[in-house]
Amino acid sequence: MNRENRFNRPFLVCTILFLLLIFLDRLIPEGMFFDGLTYASLARNLAIGKASFWQPFYTGPFWDHPPLMIAMEALFFKMFGNEYYTEKIYSLVIWLFTLLSIAVLWRKIKKDEKYNSVFWLPLLLWNISPIVVWGYPNNLLDTTLALFDLFAVILMYNGLQKTNSFYNFLAAGCLLFLASMTKGVVGFFPIGVPMIYYIVFRKPRFSMVMLWTLLLVSMLVLFYFILWQYPQPRAYLTYYLDNQLFAALAGKREKVDSVLGRFTIISDMLIQLIPAIIIGFIVFFTGRLLKIKTSNIPRLNEASVSSAEPLAKNQQTNSRSITALNRLCYRKPGKIQYIMRGQKDAFFFLLVGLSASVPLMVSVKQRAFYLIPSIPYFAIAAALIIAPLFYSLVQHSYSTGFKRKILNGSLVLASVVSLYYLGSKIGTVGRDADLIHDIKQFTLYIPKGEQIGLCHECEEDWKFIAYIQRYHELIPASYKNTHYVLLDKKNCSSTFLDSLQLSGFYEVPLPTIQYVLYKK
């Protein structure tokens, strides 16, 4: 094992342990955000034959989003059965593949061994974003969308660095189609990657950039043209376009509840980046306090613009500019020069992240978790900026045998404590504990798949609807046509209760907390 990997090993293990801890802490307990429960119910219904790919079924037909992620998760229900942890296993797989993809992309950016040895830095910066910590354990569409787009960006980035890139972009076009079949047009943002690459690096030729962009667009047009020729996909896409996409753009669906309006997504983005920014400041000031110098940061190449041949006027200008910049950056080691390395790559990934987030401003329907596909690129950009100094700090902290013993001992202790803590989470209920408790009581009494009457307040409680569908396939209906009614003690009106009693319903005595069951 080379020296870089040797002193990085305890930090790598600690990082992986920390990532697993904050992820599994939310994933293991029972309970989930109602959007994730909705998609799990759709997947379960597809797996048991209660729906089809182009006709998903929830409490009725569900055409609000393209069905690919639902179909993928349905495979997990066929493998693991209708258990509460099935969608959690799916979420874990998506999270692991995303971690792997970020690590692969990082190794493609820098061939330098020191950069590669801290490949866990972008993983850390990605996973400490609040929306990643919350979103991935909650089975959101955006996580699967982000993974497809991340695959596509890896292929495009790899292709843009080669002369023969056709197959890279061909595969990337297919992945963009899969991303759009997961959550619609928001999956198209990597189309701009070739142009962003050209703007930052001035290569490859502009004509090639336009060719690759045209190839991506043409492939997407072709895929959707083929789908449009078939009645079921055409009906599905027509409904999605009219009732989801165009309605959202026109402000006819849910609107952001913020004084910032369309700019709310920008404030949300800044909030998500705060942990990475804090780590950057900690690294910088720690390096300054300890007087750490970055390791082997190459200067800008003055020799490459200085030769025996006479320089053109613009070349002379470039040479003077580079010389001045080197004087600025290398006058005080450890303060500025570590920023210079990888700055173009950092700027490139920053622009990619912005291309995945800023366009969301066109709609007034905004949620913080819509930013999930953009976070990997912001994390990579931040990691590229701080990586040289971060590497030097890691190297310094492992420089003596005493320090190694402290780190290794701390690692063992942290591992034991973390495993004990996660083990204590197994079989527990996290969010919505009272609701889950009550629904489990109802499932002992109400036949699975039964139509269930609800008061008006419960009909608009989407979390409640999601739980009764996911846990027992209960379908809301008019109470006049059902044998069972569920009431919320806190919210359902006394008038509705009077109507139930006049219609011949009586309360079923069950040890519930918030909800009450009535039977005719």
The answer, yes or no, to whether residue 476 has pLDDT greater than 50, is: yes
In this prediction, residues 246-264 reach a mean pLDDT of 71
At residue 215, the pLDDT reads 95
Question: Within a domain: residue 225?
Answer: yes
> In the listed set 393, 420, 447, which residue is the last one of a domain according to the structure?
420
Whether 449 and 306 share a structural domain: no
Whether 224 and 140 share a structural domain: yes
Whether 202 and 81 share a structural domain: yes
The answer, yes or no, to whether residue 148 has pLDDT greater than 90, is: yes
Question: Whole-prediction pTM value?
Answer: 0.86
Question: Within a domain: residue 428?
Answer: no
Whether 107 and 230 share a structural domain: yes
Whether 305 and 195 share a structural domain: no
At residue 56, the pLDDT reads 94
Angle formed by the axes of helices 166-183 and 206-228, to 10°? 40
| Geometric angle at alpha carbon 497, from 494 and 500, rounded to 5° | 155
Lowest-pLDDT choice from 22-26, 69-73, 294-298 = 294-298
Lowest-pLDDT choice from 108-117, 358-367, 481-490, 510-519 = 108-117
Q: Which long-range contacts (CB under 8 A, 24 or more apart) does 430-433 make?
A: 430/26, 430/29, 430/30, 430/31, 431/29, 431/31, 431/32, 431/33, 432/31, 432/463, 432/467, 433/31
407, 133 Cβ separation under 8 angstroms: no
Whether 99 and 241 share a structural domain: yes
> In the listed set 332, 354, 373, which residue is the last one of a domain according to the structure?
332
In this prediction, residues 442-458 reach a mean pLDDT of 91
Give kind and range of the element (H or E) at residue 323.
helix 313-330
Whether 75 and 134 share a structural domain: yes
Question: Within a domain: residue 427?
Answer: no
Q: Measured between alpha carbons, how far is 37 from 85 in angstroms, rounded to an integer?
A: 11
Instruction: Convert the pLDDT of each residue in 211-242 to its tens digit.
Output: 999 999 999 999 999 999 999 999 999 988 88
Q: Within 10 Å of residue 478's Cβ, how many Cβ atoms?
A: 9
Question: Within a domain: residue 173?
Answer: yes
In this prediction, residues 65-84 reach a mean pLDDT of 95
More confident of the two residues 320 and 390: 390
Six-digit token string for 84? 């509460």
Whether 117 and 243 share a structural domain: yes
At residue 474, the pLDDT reads 92
Whether 351 and 438 share a structural domain: no
At residue 313, the pLDDT reads 44
At residue 4, the pLDDT reads 52
Q: Please, what's the largest Cα pairwise distance for the chain?
A: 101
The answer, yes or no, to whether residue 465 has pLDDT greater than 50, is: yes
Nearest Cα residue to 353 out of 178, 129, 516, 175: 129
Question: Within a domain: residue 252?
Answer: no
CA 108 vs CA 284, 363, 365: distances in Å: 25, 34, 36
- Exposure pattern of 209-228 as b/e (b: 16+ CB <10 Å)? beebbebbeebbeebeeebe
**Dihedral angle of Cα 28, 30, 31, 36, to the nearest 10 degrees:** 60
In this prediction, residues 464-470 reach a mean pLDDT of 94
Please state whether 451 falls in left (phi above 0), alpha (psi between -120 and 50) or beta.
beta
Beta bridge mates, 306: none
Instruction: Convert the pLDDT of each residue in 361-370 to its tens digit.
Output: 887 778 889 9
Q: How many domains does the chain have?
A: 3
Whether 391 and 449 share a structural domain: no
More confident of the two residues 160 and 261: 160
Question: pLDDT-derived band of residue 402, with 50, 70 and 90 as boundaries?
Answer: low
At residue 293, the pLDDT reads 67
Give the contacts of 415 (CB within 8 A, at least 6 positions apart). 13, 17
Question: Within a domain: residue 285?
Answer: no
Whether 25 and 94 share a structural domain: yes
Nearest Cα residue to 130 out of 245, 297, 277, 231: 277
Question: Within a domain: residue 129?
Answer: yes
At residue 117, the pLDDT reads 81
Question: pLDDT-derived band of residue 290, with 50, 70 and 90 as boundaries?
Answer: confident
At residue 303, the pLDDT reads 33
Question: Within a domain: residue 151?
Answer: yes
Strands 484-488 and 506-508: unpaired
448, 469 Cβ separation under 8 angstroms: no
Residue with tokens 């309006």: 261
Q: Measured between alpha carbons, how far is 165 from 189 in angstroms, rounded to an integer?
A: 19
Whether 323 and 472 share a structural domain: no
Question: pLDDT-derived band of residue 58, with 50, 70 and 90 as boundaries?
Answer: very high
At residue 318, the pLDDT reads 45
> In the listed set 332, 355, 377, which residue is the last one of a domain according to the structure?
332
| Residue 315 lies in domain | 299-332
Amino acid at residue number 356: A
Lowest-pLDDT choice from 43-57, 253-267, 358-372, 437-451 = 253-267
DSSP-derived 3-state class of residue 418: helix
